[in-house]
Amino acid sequence: MDETLIQYFLTQGPFAVLFVWLFYSGRKESNEREKQLYKTIDAQNETLKGFSTKYDIVITKLEDIEERLPPR
């Protein structure tokens, strides 16, 4: 099927071939860019998980300090 599709576009002229090539390469680049974006998002999510763990520890220690203080 790919060969018949290419043959069809070759009969339509060089501009059709250029359009198809640019379209295909643009789709390929956007797919690679999307994969890189998902990797970045995953890395940021891991960082945020680490911050949430540290935040829980800080809140726990703050509550312990507040319990030790005399009431006002």
- pLDDT tens profile 9-52: 778 787 877 888 899 999 999 999 999 999 999 999 988 888 88
Count of domains observed in the chain: 1
pLDDT value, residue 43: 93
Query: Can you tell me the distance from the alpha carbon of 14 to that of 49, in angstroms, rounded to the nearest whole number?
Result: 52
Q: Is 17 helix (H, G, I), strand (E, B) or coil?
A: helix
pLDDT value, residue 1: 64
Query: Can you tell me the distance from the alpha carbon of 72 to that of 69, in angstroms, rounded to the nearest whole number?
Result: 9
pLDDT category at 66 given cuts 50, 70, 90 is: confident
| pLDDT(62) > 80 | yes
pLDDT value, residue 11: 81
CB-based contact 60:54 (threshold 8 Å): no
Task: Give me the domain span that covers residue 47.
Answer: 2-68
pTM to 2 decimals? 0.52
